Amino acid sequence: MENITDVNLASQLREGTKKSHSMSENVGFVKCFLKGVVEKNSYRKLVSNLYFVYSAMEEEMEKLKDHQILSKIYFPQLSRKESLENDLQFYYGSNWRNEIAPSASCVKYVNRIKEIAQSQPELLIAHCYTRYLGDLSGGQILKKIARQAMNLNEGGTAFYEFENIPDEKAFKTTYRQAMNDLPVDQPTAERIVDEANAAFGMNMNLFKELEGNLVKAIGVMLFNTLTRRRSRGSTELATAE
């Protein structure tokens, strides 16, 4: 690749997705979640959708682990597929594979991941950044909220547990540095930032699909009360650390 400069991709991604990050935290489902209102049926549907998303993302990254760019951010210890399988067994039972199906928004999300893996593999960086750094940051806040809100003593939140990463804060620093060291030029960096904003949009669509079930469970009045005010969320602050 020619004309590669010091583009500081991680920094560009953080700055370039601030608005999208804020918007995603102001989706009704997420606002309720952050305020401690988590309805189990909605949550398990989210887990099932995330299973399809991560399965696609990790399958493509595995295929491309020797790619000249993607190889530098290939960290198998980040893999979430197995932990999501554990959670799905917890929520749906041993027959979980026959109980779940991707939602309409999830199908579009998965198809996008597969499409770019074939045509523009460097754009997978955007999807890895959007999901994994969020999992390592705000995910820890969400784990605590989910356990309290759904009265979980054990099980059900394996998704948020990175057993192969003993120091998550140090790993985030390593990951960001690896992204900053990627051999990409500025036009490529800009395309990756655009794709990251699109990935935030895809995640927002997953959340929006769940609002109907949540409203049914908690009632329209409570949902409206919880989601009335726009705010900068706590996971956005955590991701910036």
Q: Which residue would you say has higher pLDDT here, 38 or 124?
A: 124
Across residues 119-132, what is the average pLDDT? 97
Q: Higher model confidence: residue 161 or residue 3?
A: 161
Count of all residues that appear for the chain in the document? 241
**47 or 142: whose pLDDT is higher?**
47
Q: Is the per-residue pLDDT at 230 higher than 90?
A: no
In contact, 209 and 103? CB cutoff 8 Å: yes
- Higher pLDDT residue, 31 or 217? 31
Rounded mean pLDDT, 170-186: 95
In angstroms, the CA 223 to CA 212 distance is 10
Enumerate residues 6+ apart whose C-beta is below 8 A from 75: 175
Q: Give residue 211's pLDDT band: very low, low, confident or very high (50, 70, 90).
A: confident
Burial of 118 (0-12, 13-18, 19+ CB in 10 A): exposed
* The pair of three-digit structure tokens given for residue 168, joined into one six-digit string: 């998550």
Q: Which domains does the chain have, with CATH numbers?
A: 24-235 (1.20.910.10)
Position 225 scores a pLDDT of 87
Above 70 in pLDDT, residue 238? no
DSSP assignment of 88-155, as one string?
HHHHH-TTHHHH----HHHHHHHHHHHHHHHH-GGGHHHHHIIIIIHHHTHHHHHHHHHHHHTT-SSS
The pLDDT score that the predictor gives to residue 2 is 45
> Within 13 A of 9's CA, how many CA atoms are on the CB side?
33
